Amino acid sequence: MAEAEAQLIQSAQRGDLEAFNTLVLRYQDIVYAVTYRIMGDPASADDGTQEAFINAYRRIETYRGGNFKAWLLRVATNTCYDILRYHKRRPATALDDLPGGDTDDGPPIPDESISPEEAAQQTELNTAIQDCINSLSDDQRIVLVMSDIEGYPYQDIADTVGTRLGTVKSRLSRARAGVRKCLEAVQELLPAEYRLTSSND
């Protein structure tokens, strides 16, 4: 697997677009998930994902070995940063663009066996969580997504975003505290089983 990936990477570095597209199919879900959580809406995530792969192909010569997924996610993360700065706005989330919305390009619902009512509750909860994530700063949001959604260890996050381990630790702690405060403010809107327990309870 790793050897096959290394050969694909070397072929892509020599300009083999087909080999690179093989890598795209292998990592596009992860890249899209990261870009979606960072950008906050499916349309921006779609643009960000496509642009991230284009940037990765143009710069694949700079890959010097190591964790290719981490390198690719770093490219995707920086691409999202650039897009956010380019538009000079925080991405606004429309209801139709939320996960599970009516748009065709929205991410698919993971479990299609749940009832429509449960799906509605799940969608409401996901919307609230995503809104709270979107309220974070870019730095905090990136770290939170990579840690709590993608499950990366701190060191990989630090390598990806190019910062120190202690900074990742601090940013993640603040991001979690921010999401918690945000969800406490809207927990009346959430189903009972998802309401947060106050630390004073």
Sort 71 into a burial class: Cβ within 10 Å, 0-12 / 13-18 / 19+: buried
Residue 1: CB minimum distance to other proteins, A: 20
Residue 53: CB minimum distance to other proteins, A: 5
Instruction: Note whether 162 binds other proteins by CB under 8 A.
Output: yes
Using alpha carbons, select from 113, 108, 105 the residue that is nearest to residue 126.
108
Instruction: Note whether 75 binds other proteins by CB under 8 A.
Output: yes
Instruction: Note whether 198 binds other proteins by CB under 8 A.
Output: yes
| Integer Rg of the chain from CA | 18
Residue 117: other Cβ atoms inside 10 A = 8
What is the b/e burial string over 18-49, where b = at least 16 CB atoms within 10 angstroms of the residue's CB? ebbeebbebbbeebbbbbbbbbbbbebbbbbb
Q: Which is nearer to other proteins, 3 or 176 (CB)?
A: 176
Q: Give the per-residue contact string, 109-138, with other proteins (x = CB under 8 A; - = no).
A: xxx----------x--xx--xx--x-----
- Contact with other proteins (CB under 8 A) among 4, 95, 105, 191: 105
Q: Which is nearer to other proteins, 53 or 68 (CB)?
A: 53
Q: Which is nearer to other proteins, 2 or 86 (CB)?
A: 86
